[in-house]
Amino acid sequence: MIQKKYESDFLVIGSGIAGLSFAIKASRYGTVNIVTKKRDFDSNTNYAQGGIASVIDPGDSFDSHIDDTMKAGGGLGNRKAVEIMVREGPSRIMELVKWGTKFSYASLSRKKKFDLGREGGHSNKRIVHAADLTGREIESALLNKISASRRIKIFENHTAVDLLTEHQLKIKNPYGKIHCHGAYILDNESLRVHIFSANFTLIATGGVGQVYLHTTNPEIATGDGIAMAYRAGASIGDMEFIQFHPTSFYDKRRSGISFLISEAVRGEGGVLINSRGEKFMKDIHPMKDLAPRDIVARTIDRELKRLGDDCVFLDITDRSREFLKKRFPQIYGHCKKAGIDISKDPIPVVPAAHYLCGGIISDNDGRTSVKNLYVSGEAACTGVHGANRLASNSLLEGVVFSHRAFLDMGKIIESRAGRKKIPNFPQWSKEGTFDPKEWIIVNHNIDDVKRVMWDYVGIVRTDMRLEIARKRIIMLAEEIHTVYKRSTISFKIIELRNLATIAKLIIKCALKRKDSIGLHYNSDHPQPYKKLKRVVIRSDHKPRLISNWQ
């Protein structure tokens, strides 16, 4: 079988909320190829529980949502981007409804009123949800809509390896700036790497949770898009801000993905208690159990260390079984299978890596620093989350900024400035590579990266832990680079290489920060900088501290 060339007007890498919602719109302007590395619904989006935040309630206001978002982000957020996200949110949500998403309504008799939930850091009820299966509902509505389009083609089990930019040709860019023309894509089954060229490429590859040993994220979350963009020379920012969700289900074996116990459970009255039955959040923050996530996760971490316990507990036993089964069918069922009736027993919970606030830096229209390369969703660093994301703001960010990226590309297409001749990229070369055979080396390296990150680059950091992590990851990354260069290309090798890059980026950004803010807490430097700073890194320069978003 020979390597193929696929051409389309738009190439979308990833089939979560960011990629799919963009593709639906972009198809108005031309053909869209979506590549996705597993099945079409495999995404973080499909796992989202709590919901999507937006100002819907007449008693709520845009200003309140903007303030909550800025406050949760430690003041490091990009105010302009936050305003855009919040103000454009309601229209995007109504669009999701128009496309077939069935959110939960307050009661059957008042059908048109959303049942609004409450989550940490929000001063109003503003979480639109579909019971505790919000992501699955959105994902299936989007896929359904796409299945009716003849202009959109989804390539499942196709993994993006690297972007087609001048760095692949080893030539100077004829247009001045680095320019993206698509990507090399591996067909996971045939193991052929094909060229997918396009006038516009959108990275919508989601987050990086799999770089940690314990995470709520599914297996796809290995930061591929960010690693690819970094190699191609794009600016990357805020990688030190990893959000640990305070409450994932504590399973004694702690293997595989940590099942999430939605913050909405606390929104419905759930209270955190330690093994002595003490309500330990009550004196920590005025919002108690609904304080922003960085604060709750750090407090749990402190309780576990103080008492030498393996988990804390989330108590929602005040609510009736009927209510819990209806409001949280998935959580109720998961706990029941594990032998816990949540209407009678507190749920054992621990923090787990959940969300990346940083990523590929983009402007308010999804543009990256590489021409014709856009980014949206969790892979993007729009600045809306600052140093810590407010709950349920990420589905919102994805859908709002994908819309803006679509509008921006539309303008370029209409002005006919978008089409450039696509250079001839060489076919993928297999020369000098062979089947690694010793898969034990690959598996061992993946485990090592995850463990180093969990033990040394977790909720509470110190200079010494970060320095140890840096040395270990650099050593591992060199070894992984050698394995990558010599091995026949495969899905697993691609992910391993990207995980090593992501680990390096997180550590480098964390080391550059000599302060603590939001999700980055270094006990050797417990105070924030007097003047707020961001960290930006590129493959051709070390991390730099720059002034906050203007």
Binding site for ligand SIN (CB under 6 A): 49-50, 262-264, 355, 391-392, 394
Q: What minimum distance in Å lies between the beta carbon of 354 and ligand SIN?
A: 6
Position of tokens 């402007």? 363
Q: How many CA atoms lie within 13 A of 320 on its CB side?
A: 3
Listed residue (407, 399, 410, 408) closest to 99, CA to CA: 399
Q: How many CB atoms lie within 10 A of CB 174?
A: 10
User: Which string of x and - marks every residue 347-366 that binds ligand FAD (by CB under 6 A)?
Assistant: --------x-----------
Subset of residues 253 to 292 that bind ligand FAD, contact rule: CB under 6 A: 260
Q: What minimum distance in Å lies between the beta carbon of 389 and ligand FAD?
A: 8
Task: Point out which residues pair with 361 in neighbouring strands.
Answer: 381
Task: Point out which residues pair with 520 in neighbouring strands.
Answer: 517
Q: Contact 259/215 with Cβ under 8 angstroms?
A: no
Distances (CA, A) of 77 to 71, 120, 242, 419: 9, 17, 15, 34
Helix, strand or coil, per DSSP, at residue 504: helix
Q: How many CB atoms lie within 10 A of CB 368?
A: 28
Q: What minimum distance in Å lies between the beta carbon of 99 and ligand SIN?
A: 21
Nearer to ligand FAD, 366 or 398 (CB): 398
Nearer to ligand SIN, 47 or 280 (CB): 47
- Under the criterion CB under 6 A, does residue 154 sit at the interface with ligand FAD? no
Distances (CA, A) of 214 to 179, 377, 382: 37, 22, 26
Given the residues 118, 136, 293, 404, select the one marked as catalytic: 293
User: Which string of x and - marks every residue 423-462 that binds ligand FAD (by CB under 6 A)?
Assistant: ----------------------------------------
Give the span between the Cα atoms of 386 and 238, in whole angstroms: 8
Give the span between the Cα atoms of 197 and 181, in whole angstroms: 6
Nearer to ligand SIN, 364 or 394 (CB): 394
- Under the criterion CB under 6 A, does residue 54 sit at the interface with ligand FAD? no
Position of tokens 């924030």? 528
Subset of residues 34 to 53 that bind ligand FAD, contact rule: CB under 6 A: 35-38, 42-45, 47-52
Q: What minimum distance in Å lies between the beta carbon of 316 and ligand SIN?
A: 13
296 binds, among ligand SIN, ligand FAD, none (CB under 5 to 8 A by kind): none
Angle between helices 491-512 and 439-456 (to 10 degrees): 20
Residue whose C-beta lies closest to ligand SIN: 50
Q: What minimum distance in Å lies between the beta carbon of 466 and ligand FAD?
A: 25
Distances (CA, A) of 60 to 55, 56, 86, 130, 201: 6, 7, 12, 20, 37
Per-residue DSSP letters for 304-342? Answer: HHHHT-S-EEEE-TTS-HHHHHHH-HHHHHHHHHTT--T
Position of tokens 């430097």? 525
Tokens of 116: 């609004």
Q: What minimum distance in Å lies between the beta carbon of 260 and ligand FAD?
A: 4
- Under the criterion CB under 6 A, does residue 544 sit at the interface with ligand FAD? no
306 noted as active-site residue: no
45 binds, among ligand SIN, ligand FAD, none (CB under 5 to 8 A by kind): ligand FAD
Q: What minimum distance in Å lies between the beta carbon of 167 and ligand FAD?
A: 17
Q: What minimum distance in Å lies between the beta carbon of 81 and ligand FAD?
A: 16
- DSSP E strand stretches across 90-192: 116-117, 127-128, 152-155, 158-163, 182-187
36 binds, among ligand FAD, ligand SIN, none (CB under 5 to 8 A by kind): ligand FAD
* DSSP tag of 457: S
Nearer to ligand FAD, 48 or 234 (CB): 48
Task: Point out which residues pair with 312 in neighbouring strands.
Answer: 349
Question: How buried is residue 544: exposed, middle or buried, by Cβ count under 10 Å (0-12/13-18/19+)?
Answer: middle
Amino acid found at 223:
G
Nearer to ligand SIN, 53 or 193 (CB): 53
- Candidate residues 9, 137, 162, 224; the one interacting with ligand FAD per rule CB under 6 A: 224
The region of 213-221, 273-281, 291-299, 511-519 touching ligand FAD under the rule CB under 6 A is 213-221
Q: What minimum distance in Å lies between the beta carbon of 348 and ligand FAD?
A: 17
Amino acid found at 184:
Y
User: Which string of x and - marks every residue 364-393 that binds ligand FAD (by CB under 6 A)?
Assistant: -------------xxx------------xx
- Under the criterion CB under 6 A, does residue 33 sit at the interface with ligand FAD? no
Subset of residues 396 to 415 that bind ligand FAD, contact rule: CB under 6 A: 398
Tokens of 150: 């003849």
Helix, strand or coil, per DSSP, at residue 163: strand
Nearer to ligand SIN, 122 or 465 (CB): 122
Strand order through the sheet with 271-273:
242-249, 347-356, 312-315, 271-273
- Under the criterion CB under 6 A, does residue 233 sit at the interface with ligand FAD? no
299 binds, among ligand FAD, ligand SIN, none (CB under 5 to 8 A by kind): none
Task: Point out which residues pair with 32 in neighbouring strands.
Answer: 10, 152
* Number of residues this chain uses to bind ligand FAD (CB under 6 A): 44
Helix, strand or coil, per DSSP, at residue 117: strand
Nearer to ligand FAD, 27 or 46 (CB): 46
19 binds, among ligand FAD, ligand SIN, none (CB under 5 to 8 A by kind): ligand FAD
Q: Contact 149/24 with Cβ under 8 angstroms?
A: yes
- Under the criterion CB under 6 A, does residue 201 sit at the interface with ligand FAD? no
The region of 10-18, 267-275, 416-424, 516-524 touching ligand FAD under the rule CB under 6 A is 10-18
CA 80 to centroid of chain Cα atoms:
21
Contacts with ligand FAD, residue ranges (CB under 6 A) = 13-19, 35-38, 42-45, 47-52, 134-135, 159-160, 204-207, 216-217, 220, 224-225, 260, 355, 377-379, 392-395, 398
* Active centre residues (catalytic): 293
